[in-house]
Structure 1
Amino acid sequence: MDRFARASYYVGRLQQPKTQLEALAAMFSVIRNAAQPFRSPDPGKPDASQTIWQTVSDLTNRRYVFESTTRPNVVWVDLKD
């Protein structure tokens, strides 16, 4: 639960972005900060699952952005149509 409190703390302190790219970068930085390390699951902690992907939904520009932990690329889908 503490990682979600940490994410909430950082989201509350983000500056107003000047561009859409800045907004996405800011949100992904918060998400990465709250992510669980990518690793083999720990049998002693069955509820601590690893983060395998992150997503950001841009409701204003109708864009869905996806980042996989195992791939270095960010991909997106425009949903304007």
Structure 2
Amino acid sequence: MKNYNLQQFLLPLKISAPDISFNRLETDSRNVRPGNLFLAILGEINDGRNYISEAIKNGAVAVIAEKKNLITAIIYKIKIALSQLSM
């Protein structure tokens, strides 16, 4: 399986990000597997940001979330995210 680099992925958007590798981009938290990057999109019916916790539990190494129609990188390293979920 091919790995992609988050820094390189976000470089065209001029968004700084940590040096994290991911193997697939997912927009459905139910399909997230270990090593995936979750893209939380604000849709017409569902708000993907409501599923960030599920994506992390399913193994997302990072999350990119939309905020007021601007893409803002919200990066959760798994160790940090899991510790916050357990609080």
Q: TM-score, normalised by structure 2?
A: 0.28
- The structure, 1 or 2, with the larger RCO (C-alpha pairs under 8 Å, 6+ apart) is 2
Higher Cα radius of gyration? 1
- From the two aligned structures, give the one with the greater strand fraction: 2
Q: TM-score, normalised by structure 1?
A: 0.29
